[in-house]
Amino acid sequence: MEYEFCQASRLTVLYSFFKKKQFYMDIIKKILIADDLKSAIEKEESFFNRENIEMFTSSSNEEAFSIHKKENVNLIITHLDTPQMDGETLCSLIRNDNKLRRVSMIIVCSNIKSHIKRLSRCRANAFIYEPIPLSTLCEKAYQLLNIAQRESLRAPVFVKIQGEYKGAPFLCISQNISASGMLFQTDRVIHQGDSIICSFFLPNSVRILSEAEIVRVVEKKIEFDPFHYGIKFSNLTSNNTSSIEAYVKEKLQGQNEGE
């Protein structure tokens, strides 16, 4: 009996350790920045110097693309023009790759007509003109990292969803939700890349209505299991986004207090 108690205690300690370890890993943010820009920000005290920020540097956009493929970073800060590869090509390669596209990107360029015209072809999240105001760069980087972190928070939610796929209605049951999307199950066959319309009420009675894209199809483990799909919301209103974020925050806080 004493042995079993010791084993249980050890398991509890190990569980707690790995849970804290996982939490720490979850908040680690990887930033890939052009080496000359890193030299500039090192002179300033900013969130870039925090322990949960892991920095990578690149001398060109070609090298940045190679590092991102290996490290899957959260934020890329680079120049519009570098040897071998320009910013338009870098953005295109990343945004057209399903495994790499979720990264946030800041492009640094000159405030001249030719550069400004090229920005329309870049699918970056933000653009900053040279000479770079470091306070603006830090603020924008912090904002983009926080948005990504907020969207990645998920909470369980079990609600019936009224869906519409190719004009035909269908029902499904949700499993978890975040400000960017949700996982649900249904008997309907849907394909990755397809678009649907979903309507449902959160447990706090707030109605959510949005178009969404199927971004993940989970393989069945058993033949008669329902299909599971991950969706990304396409046009949530700001009120709907805030409602989901509030629900997720409340749900996760309740789980932590109950542990």
Average pLDDT, the chain: 79
Q: Which of 15-29, 138-152, 198-212 has the lowest mean pLDDT?
A: 15-29
Query: Given its phi and psi angles, is residue 192 left (phi above 0), alpha (psi -120 to 50 degrees) or beta?
Result: beta
**Which residues share a beta bridge with 11?**
none
Answer with the residue of higher pLDDT: 58 or 141: 58
Both tokens of 187, joined, read 């008997």
The dotted CATH code for 155-257 is 2.40.10.220
Tell me the C-alpha to C-alpha distance, in Å, between residue 88 and each of 71, 85, 123: 21, 8, 8
Domain boundaries, the chain: 23-152, 155-257
Total H helices, total E strands in the chain: 7, 12
In whole angstroms, give the CA distance from residue 51 to residue 60. Answer: 26
pLDDT for the residue numbered 1: 45
Give the tens place of pLDDT for each residue, 48-88: 776 678 889 999 999 999 999 999 999 999 999 998 899 99
Give the tens place of pLDDT for each residue, 146-173: 755 555 556 566 667 888 888 888 888 8
Domains 23-152 and 155-257 share a fold: no
Give the tens place of pLDDT for each residue, 177-235: 888 888 888 888 999 889 999 999 988 788 999 999 998 888 776 777 788 899 999 88
Q: Does the CA dihedral 118-121-123-125 come out positive or negative?
A: positive
pLDDT for the residue numbered 46: 63
The CATH fold assigned to 23-152 is Rossmann fold (3.40.50)
Give the tens place of pLDDT for each residue, 88-131: 999 999 988 888 988 999 999 888 888 888 877 788 888 888 88
Strand order in the sheet with 104-110: 53-58, 29-34, 75-79, 104-110, 126-130
Cβ(210)–Cβ(179) under 8 Å?
no
